[in-house]
Amino acid sequence: MTRFFVQPEEMTSDTILLTGANLSHAKVLRLKAGEQVLVFDGQGSQCLCTLSDIQADCASLTVLERSQSTTEAAVEVTVYMAFPKSDKLEHVIQKATELGAHAIVAFPSSRCVSKPDEKSLQKKLERWQKIAASAAEQCGRSRIPQISVVKSYTQALEQAAQADMPILFYENEHATTLRMALDSKSWNTVSLLTGPEGGLEEKEVEQARNAGLQICTLGSRILRCETAPLCALSAVMYAAGEF
């Protein structure tokens, strides 16, 4: 069934109007009056609708049924990723959205090669949020993960530490595995923090430890910066019973 995302305030009425990109999408699909579609607010609510009319400037949908989506994970996992080179973060955003991430946060660290300025970051954020929205629509999610950027590594640690299970992955950690950390206590929210291509410095790892993050290994192999967060996210979702 065709899916559309709209703003939450647009779903309060019994008639929902599709405009802009949504209207273009409806026209490309050649939807006709009487066909049923699903509309989501990006925050977990959905409406089953019937297309009642389609015009040059808008398409009208009649709401048949309202409900909460069942496609969202019971656990809230936020991925914290140090700025990578090139478009690697775009790949992580797309795949992390498909895997069920609640949010994705980018942050600077000492060894980051990519250090976008304020002006370029705004454009990137807009693009990243669109990538998340597109991925959410494609994979059947009802919630679009929030993509954000923090200005410092310290701020990333402060935010990550608020989760029930905050974890930082470090290639030189050999004692504590992700499974050991997850088995150590119950959790409903998880933060997963990974470094850039060159990894995190020892002082940054110690700073994370002092901030309350659990330092873990992801195994005996060194994973690329774009592989590590997706590997960890998949493992957490499996442990949470999502797979």
pLDDT for 142 beyond 90: no
pLDDT in tens, 54-90: 998 999 999 999 988 888 899 999 999 999 999 999 9
| Predicted pLDDT of residue 73 | 92
Q: Which residues contact 240 (CB under 8 A, 6 or more apart)?
A: 73, 74, 75
**103: three-class secondary structure by DSSP:** strand
- Average pLDDT rounded to a whole number, residues 213-218: 97
User: What is the side-by-side strand order in the sheet with 59-68?
Assistant: 3-5, 36-40, 45-54, 59-68, 15-18
Environment class of 13 (CB within 10 Å of its CB; exposed 0-12, middle 13-18, buried 19+): exposed
Instruction: Compute the distance between CA of residue 192 and CA of residue 163 in angstroms, rounded to an integer.
Output: 10
pLDDT digit string, tens, across residues 156-183: 999 999 999 999 999 999 999 999 999 9
| Confidence (pLDDT) at 127 | 96
Structural domains of the chain sorted by starting position, each given as residue range(s) with its CATH number in brackets: 3-68 (2.40.240.20), 76-239 (3.40.1280.10)
The pTM score is: 0.86
Measure the CA–CA gap between 157 and 183, rounded to whole angstroms. Answer: 22
- pLDDT tens across 202-213, in order? 999 999 999 999
**Which residues fall within 8 angstroms of residue 130, CB to CB, at 6 or more apart?**
none
Structure tokens, 10: 């647009």
Nearest to 96 by CA among 46, 149, 152, 147: 147
Of 145, 161, 164, 154, the residue nearest 105 (C-alpha): 145
